[in-house]
Amino acid sequence: MTDSGITIADVKVGVAEALQEKRVKAYVRERKKALERRQKDPEKARAYQRKWVAEHLEQHQANQRRYQLKNRVRMNTERREATQKIREEKMLKTIQERGDMETLVVSNPSNPLPVLLKTPAVAAILGVNVRTLWRLRNSGCLPLPVRIGGGTILRWDKAKLLDWIDRGCPKINDKG
């Protein structure tokens, strides 16, 4: 507050009113000029009006395209997320129906072999897509899978995976 009792808010309101008044005066001047042009040379005024309409129509169409594109991107994102969720639910259901959650090979009950999981089952346990699982593996964030045969078949040791999860999913430095 200043000595005269005027606050900053009062000054802001005054400035806003002055700007509004200035805009109104500019608009009135523009309308008067347009009227004068129409009275002087009607053909030139119509040409100016057609040009003005064309420019504003082009601007409006550009705004429409931007809005439609933004809306399309939003819709595609929502559709993609919904599709991804449906795929993951179907994959989990399929895995559970097939019994692929665990591929258990036990030759001797006193010395059982480890429970080995297929890649989709590991992805389902972690709640990620299979591609994301491989990205995590390649960046060294997951334990190594077990290679079976000539190294073409990969399975994940359930005990190691669950231990890794229990330890808080620490980053693994050894890449495979």
Q: 148 in helix, strand or coil?
A: strand
Q: Where are the domains of the chain?
A: 8-86, 99-166
Say if residue 152's pLDDT is above 90: no
Say if residue 5's pLDDT is above 60: yes
What pLDDT score does 131 carry? 93
Rounded CA-CA distance 93/79 in Å is 21
Percentage, residues of the chain above pLDDT 70: 84
CB 113 within 8 A of CB 105: yes
Provide CB contacts within 8 A for 103, sequence distance 6+: 115, 116, 117, 118, 155
11-15, 63-67, 84-88, 150-154: segment of lowest average pLDDT: 11-15
Going from the C-alpha of 74 to that of each of 5, 65, 68, 71, 84, the distances in angstroms are: 51, 14, 10, 5, 15
CB 140 within 8 A of CB 174: yes
User: Is the CATH number 1.20.120 carried by domain 99-166?
Assistant: no
pLDDT tens-digit series, residues 79-136: 888 888 888 787 777 766 665 544 444 444 555 667 888 888 898 888 889 999 989 8
What pLDDT score does 140 carry? 85
**Burial class of residue 123 (count of CB atoms within 10 Å of its CB; 0-12, 13-18, 19+):** buried
pLDDT tens-digit series, residues 35-85: 787 788 878 777 878 888 888 888 888 888 888 888 888 888 888 888 888
